[in-house]
Structure 1
Amino acid sequence: MSVLTEVAKSLTTKTFTKDTLAYRQEITELQGVDFIVKGEYETFFFDSVQNRRLLETHNSPYCFGGLSILLNRTKALKSVMAKKGTVICSLPRKEFLELCQSHNEFFQYYTTDFGQRMLNDEFSHFVKTPASFEESYIAAEQLYSRRIDGIIYKDIVSCLIGTPIYEAAKHMADNRVSCLFIRDEQENIIGYATDITLRDNVIAKQVDTNQTIDSVMDNPIVSISHQAYLYEAVLMMFRTKTRYLLVEKHGKYVGFLSRNRLLSEQGQSPLVFIQSVKLAETTQELGQKWNYVPEIINQLLGRGINAEITNQVITTIADAIAIKVIEKVIREIGEPPAKFVFMVTGSEGRKEQTLKTDQDNAIIYEDKANEHREMVRAYFLDFANKVSDQLNEIGFVYCKGGYMASNPDWTHSLSHWKRNYKNWIDETVPENAIKFSTFFDCRFLYGDRTIIHQLKEFLEEELQKPNDRFFTFIGRNALQYEPPLTFFKNIKTEKIDRSEVLNIKNAMTPIVDLVRVYALKNRIYEENTGERLAKLTKLGVFSKKQYEELYQSYYYLMALRLENQANQILIEKIEPNNYIRIDKLTKIEKVTLIEIFKTINNFQVGIKMRFTNNLLG
């Protein structure tokens, strides 16, 4: 049964036997959208003296009401005169929003139409961006689909390396800027100085202002493509702790953005909440911030934001909290005796964290001489335990499987970690395939980034060696979970507390696993499933059509999962889990899920043939 068939079942028909004012702007309640089957709608705005403005005539297959719903309005945006004999079919608001959320092209049709209409000053005047506009689906779409090129970024003001501090400060004053970039002799930007730099590194330390500006400048330089989205720039700033981003276009820096400027562009966006997380100090405060995250997620999904972006927001908040905890513990127990990296694995490593989350992390520290090994290891195990305990107190519960840095198995030197990876590849047994898959999804969180680079360079060498047996086991591991379909292609459920439920996590796992297998085979080290898919498509492993099928399937399931967990926390007042009650799904959602599970099944057949040489797996 197709989605269109289910949509048709939700339609109600109405015939206008005479000319009728069907909707009056800002007065008539809007229950859904109207599709003209035959006849005519005249749409217009009444002005202050009841003249009709911007009158338009529409016939079949025109749809009325979509813009109003996506602007989160309960009343009609425009007035409508339905002509005698007009027949319409109405689709309820909820089903319309479900179609928008599950079919991006359908949604984009309305957002594009709105954008074009807002170019008309008269239309824009009558729409009068409502007070709740920032809560609307279209506002969210504009916010999260807006590129850096769409805003005015600041020109780069710079000086040469070797410039005295006082001259650099005068240059800033003359140009009325709070950030000055420093260039080397080859015109490469190597650092920057701000008002804060001058306060902290010069005035507070009573540094001679005849010294060169490069002796007190800040770095490293962080840049972003002019084609990147605004929300990506905000998240990058929080992850890199930089206040300024250089904008890169065609290999050159063409301007820069400040964090304050970007946050002002976000208005009331939940992204601004991340800034408040950065300001929290105590474990209790951090716990309060994490407890508010379900509300943030509810807002994002309620505005129609893509689940991939929602995942990134959760991950950025979780990262910010974990980093605060790590820095707090280091202050408590003293500086580490060796360079190290604190990495996250599993869903957190893939930047696909949900609201039911546990700790998945590990520590790699640099190799030290024999006489220091025990002392170094003792420090990091104590450090890991303290970090783990505080994260648990905040709300990131201990991992039941023990995949945490506080487990001595997962805190080791770099050489030990290299042996781990080599053993998992060479000694191909099911248990090792699971461990390898878990730690292939590792991501840098804190410390010396070069250590994790060295580990991945080692992995790159190992994966180039012929090892069909390894990929056979990895392929089989990716086939552990089958799409939950019955023999008759209905949704397979399980019973919990007398309710028929779908385990949404298990339903998503096959996509994560199969994409990981192809990423391994092609030595792609992006951690995120969506990013891996994009890279594989660029390499020609997947076609554009296959990419769209997998991408949309995965993030549709993710949106359902996040929405269910947010409702469990905020409405049902229970601990979040991965079970969705079937009776809470609409007919459209059920049909969409069945189509998604068929798609997953088809891709799993490809895994069976390519990696296990066995159609039966």
Structure 2
Amino acid sequence: MDNRLAFLKTVEPFSLLPEEVLDGVVDLLQEVQYPKDALIYQQDVSKLRGLDIIVEGEYETFFYDSEQQKRLPEVYGPGTCYGGMSILLNKKRSLRTVLAHKGTKVLSLPRRDFRALCLAYEPFFHYFTARYGQRMLNEEYAHFVKPTPAPEQNFIAADQLYSRRLETLEARDVVSCPGTTPIYEAARRMASGKVSCLFVTDEASKIVGYVTDITLRDNVVARQLDAARPVSEVTDTPIVSIRRDAYVYEAILLMFQTKTRYLLVEQAGEYVGFLSRNKLLSDLAQSPFMFIQAVKLAQSTRELKRRWGMVPDMVNQLLSRGVKPEIVNQVITTVADTIALKVIEGVLAEQGPAPAKFVFIVLGSEGRKEQTLVTDQDNAIIYEDKANEQRELVREYFLRFATSVSDQLNDIGLHFCSGASWPKTPSGHILSRTGSATTTSG
């Protein structure tokens, strides 16, 4: 064609590239013509040599099912591209079967040059990954696209995690009892209903808490509490619920973030059932959320460091399957939060209980749940002010506590902030006085 540059400017995502870059791309294009109908790619078999840009004619694309019937047919006409998702996300193999109709003319950008553009221009790259992520929300499309396992560990074996909604799962019926019910009777109801979670209601029949097998073990048996006492005395809180039309990944993230093992499923303002974390995770043996569970079970700083070192591989797999960046950010944030909690719990065990009430605050990208792999510590501690004679002792405790937590996080890989301009203590922590509280961040 006479003016390839003008044509490229009309084609997504080449329209996102600077004109001087497009000038160079034009010289790389190879023209291919099909004088008659031709089968050019077979799904998950044929390897693409480059990205095809249709100039004239059309590509007819589809999946073959087990009975060799065409499924999800789609036509690519002039000004569209085929092959980007296949090259980036399917090891160069065509995701679909493709027929080029008679008279079709194509400009092909070699695979190496296409990948170079993806590496150099993030919006160009994200066009293909975002499109793939959107298509994977279609369950029929996801059925035909087979995930490619990694050589050692596949963190996203269950692609439906990101496309499946809770309404497709079978939630357990809510089993409940009034708070005045004796503990032994509550246990009987759990046994007869074959559930490990019993929800407790108030006088207005509103769910206000729950009792689990662990509750009975820790709060009743271990304390030798009279089982005739009302179950309201041992009820756990808070109640956490989620919409029935939410995605599975949202439910699991919510469970980890709220530390609950049970979620009530809500529809039109009413609870229509509940889901347990064990039930959800049983089908996700190698998902990111089982990885998070492994972090929670880590027994040492060395193990936490090893787990954090595995996060880049997990992120690469998520992105290579077209998972949306904001979901990946949430996963990274949840891993970092889990590591921080493990470190805090360990330091408290080493140094003894805190001498005052306090909160550990996560700021910056982690606090916004937008964390990436290139991150540093941006934390703060706010603690209860004490009488003058105790104030300095309390301050010294939290300085030791903050130093230990920050040092361990830095060793794990969540490094100190190198750009802080506030005055620092010798240990590298920032101190400031706010009202009747002292904040410490590292």
Normalising by the residue count of structure 1, what TM-score does the alignment of the two structures yield?
0.57
- Alpha-carbon offset, residue 161 of structure 1: 0.2
Offset from partner CA, 1:137-164 (integer Å, 9 cap, x none): 9975x53354434433332211110111
**What is aligned with 1:118?**
140
- CA RMSD, 1 decimal: 4.0
1:326 and 2:347 aligned = no
* Alpha carbons of structure 1 residues 45 and 345: separation in structure 2 relative to 1, 3 Å: closer
In structure 1, what is the Cα distance between the partners aligned to 2:376 and 2:59? Answer: 54
Select which of 298, 313, 317 maps to 2:335: 317
Choose from 246, 250, 254 the match for 1:236: 254
Could you tell me which residue of structure 2 aligns to residue 410 of structure 1? 431
- Secondary structure in structure 2 of the residue aligned to 1:375: helix
- Change in Cα spacing, 1:413 to 1:335, as seen in structure 2 (3 Å) is farther
Higher mean displacement: 362-371 or 346-355: 346-355
Shift of 1:114: 6.4
Structure 2: segments with no counterpart, 5+ residues = 1-8, 10-14
1:137-176 correspondence to structure 2 within 5 Å: 140=159, 143-176=161-194
Q: 1:219 aligns with which of 231, 237, 255?
A: 237
Residue 74 and residue 3 in structure 1: after superposition, are their counterparts in 2 closer, same or farther (change >3 A)? Answer: same
Residue pair 1:315, 1:352 contacting (<8 A) in 2 also = yes
* Secondary structure at 2:382 match in 1: strand
**CA distances 1:463-505 after superposition (whole Å, capped 9, x unpaired):** xxxxxxxxxxxxxxxxxxxxxxxxxxxxxxxxxxxxxxxxxxx
Greater shift in the superposed pair: 105-114 or 264-273: 105-114
Assess, with a 3 A threshold, how the Cα gap between structure 1 residues 357 and 402 changes in structure 2: closer, same or farther. farther
The one-letter code of the counterpart of 1:300 is L
Task: Give me the identity figure in percent.
Answer: 52
1:491-528 C-alpha deviation (Å, 9 max, x unpaired):
xxxxxxxxxxxxxxxxxxxxxxxxxxxxxxxxxxxxxx
Q: CA deviation at 1:34?
A: 3.5
CA contact (8 A) 1:191 1:218 kept: yes
> C-alpha distance in 1, partners of 2:417/2:218?
41
Which stretch shifts more, 322-331 or 307-316? 307-316
Q: How does 1:28-47 map to 2 (within 5 A)?
A: 28-39=46-57, 41=59
Q: Among 397, 415, 418, which residue is 1:397 paired with?
A: 415
Select between 63-72 and 229-238 the one with higher mean Cα deviation: 63-72
- 1:207 to 2:228 alignment: no
Structure 2: how far apart are the matches of 1:375 and 1:202?
Answer: 37
Q: Report what 2:16 is aligned to.
A: 3
Letter of the 2:227 counterpart? T
Between the aligned partners of 1:288 and 1:244, the Cα distance in structure 2 is 29
Q: Distance in 1 between matches of 2:414 and 2:156?
A: 31
For residue 203 of structure 1, what is the amino acid of its counterpart?
A: V
Q: Could you say what secondary structure the match of 2:162 adopts?
A: helix
* Secondary structure of 2:265's aligned partner: strand
Aligned 1:146-545 pairs, distance under 5 A: 146-264=164-282, 266=284, 268-400=286-418, 401=420, 409-410=430-431, 415-416=436-437
SS of 2:251's equivalent in the other structure is helix
Alpha-carbon contact 1:71-1:138 (below 8 Å) kept: no
Native 8 Å contact 1:366 1:414 kept in 2: no
Structure 1 gaps, min length 5: 421-438, 443-617
Give the number of equivalent residue pairs: 412
Deviation of the 1:26 alpha carbon: 4.2
For residues 286 and 412 of structure 1, do their structure 2 counterparts lie closer, same or farther at Cα, with a shift above 3 Å needed?
Answer: farther
**Deviation (angstroms), 1:256:** 2.2
Structure 1 residues 329 and 305 mapped into 2: Cα distance closer, same or farther (>3 Å)?
A: same
Q: Which residue pairs with 1:546 in the alignment? A: none
Code of the residue aligned with 2:16 in structure 1: it is V
Structure with bigger strand share is 2
TM-aligned CA deviation for residue 12 of structure 1: 3.2
> Can you list the C-alpha shifts for 1:51-73, whole angstroms capped at 9, x where unaligned?
96429695734755467557625
- Amino acid aligned to 2:35: T
| Higher share of residues assigned helix | 1
> Alignment partner of 1:187: what SS?
coil
Could you tell me which amino acid in structure 1 is paired with residue 436 of structure 2?
Answer: S
SS in 1 for 2:203: coil
| Mapped pair 1:60 → 2:80 | no
Q: What TM-score does the superposition give when structure 2 sets the normalisation length?
A: 0.77
